[in-house]
Amino acid sequence: MRNRQDAILALILVGMIPTVSILVSFGTDGGLFSQIAFVLFKLCLLLIPLHWHLKRDRNEWSWSKPENGGYSMAIGLGLGLSAIMLIVWFFVKDLLDYNILRDAVEPVGLMDWKLYVLGCLYWIFLNSLLEEYVYRWFLVVKSEIICVGEKYAIVLSALIFVVHHSIALYFFGFPWWANLLASIGLFIGGAIFSWLYIRYRSIWIPYITHAICDVTVFGIGAMMLF
């Protein structure tokens, strides 16, 4: 019972940090306070699960070495999901107002293509890895303690993964139907990432899939902004 209560507390505490970060970042003027808050929230996402794992749960340090394979599966799923995103984009691209997105990202400098490229590199190589560390390792493991059955843990972790992304898309000016469509895609992607983690027990395998998808996402983003 105590383990389950601890898992629920961990799920709530860590799961809400990205949502609060989005609300603070977009709810302010994008100035110094917003930037400092962004960094602090990212540090919380890194350090709280680590502290919980090492001190509260008394587990050992691990680099999540991929010892059970899964590379081909990860690459194949990444390419497959990217193909689906490109197909959907082809059909909806003329229905979106790109100026709303441009207005949303301009305050943080992303209309400068050099900063956009740097941002893409950060999100693909650092932020996506941090999300796998948080959502697929920490929150999936905690979801497995709370839920009976792996499929329920996958669903729960995927739902938590969707929340802050959907809020971010709202601030980016996506219409409700586009936000809903993207959120469904994010849920499916999050569920696949969680399934990959459970199957191979390494964050590096879902990270490969995630990174490939992010390359596609930011490629589409570039077509919308420039």
Based on its alpha-carbon atoms, the radius of gyration of the chain, rounded to whole angstroms, reads 18
- Note whether 179 and 110 are within 8 A (CB): no
CA dihedral over 99, 213, 14, 179, signed as positive or negative = positive
pLDDT tens, residue by residue, 28-50: 766 777 888 889 999 999 999 99
The torsion of the CA quartet 205, 211, 214, 218, rounded to 10 degrees, works out to -170
Eight-class DSSP state of 108? G
- Note whether 74 and 205 are within 8 A (CB): yes
Q: Which of 37, 6, 23, 62 lies closest to 164 in space, CA to CA?
A: 23
State whether residue 77 is helix, strand or coil: helix
Q: Please tell me the predicted confidence (pLDDT) of residue 125.
A: 96
pLDDT tens, residue by residue, 69-112: 999 999 999 999 999 999 999 999 999 889 988 988 887 788 89
- Note whether 203 and 197 are within 8 A (CB): yes
**How many CB atoms within 10 Å of residue 154?**
24
Please report, as a single letter, which amino acid is at residue 136. Answer: R
Q: Please tell me the predicted confidence (pLDDT) of residue 37.
A: 86
Q: Please tell me the predicted confidence (pLDDT) of residue 79.
A: 98
Q: Please tell me the predicted confidence (pLDDT) of residue 173.
A: 86
Question: Can you list the positions of beta strands (E) in 53-196?
Answer: none
Structure pTM? 0.93
Q: Please tell me the predicted confidence (pLDDT) of residue 29.
A: 64
Residue 174 class from Cβ within 10 Å (0-12 exposed, 13-18 middle, 19+ buried)? buried
Torsions phi, psi for 58 (to 5 deg): 55, 45
Torsions phi, psi for 65 (to 5 deg): -60, 130
Q: Please tell me the predicted confidence (pLDDT) of residue 129.
A: 96
Q: Please tell me the predicted confidence (pLDDT) of residue 27.
A: 72
Q: Please tell me the predicted confidence (pLDDT) of residue 165.
A: 93
Diameter over CA atoms, the chain? 53
Q: Please tell me the predicted confidence (pLDDT) of residue 32.
A: 76
Whether the predicted pLDDT of 53 surpasses 80: yes
pLDDT tens, residue by residue, 116-127: 999 999 999 999
- What's the mean per-residue pLDDT of the chain? 92
Q: Please tell me the predicted confidence (pLDDT) of residue 2.
A: 67
- In order of 130, 168, 184, 185, 218, the CA distances from 178 in angstroms are 26, 13, 10, 11, 16
pLDDT tens, residue by residue, 154-202: 999 999 999 999 999 998 888 999 999 999 999 999 999 999 999 999 9
What is the distance between the alpha carbons of residues 18 and 24, in angstroms, rounded to a whole number? 10
- Over range 51-78, report the average pLDDT: 93
Helices and strands (DSSP H and E) totals, the chain: 10, 0
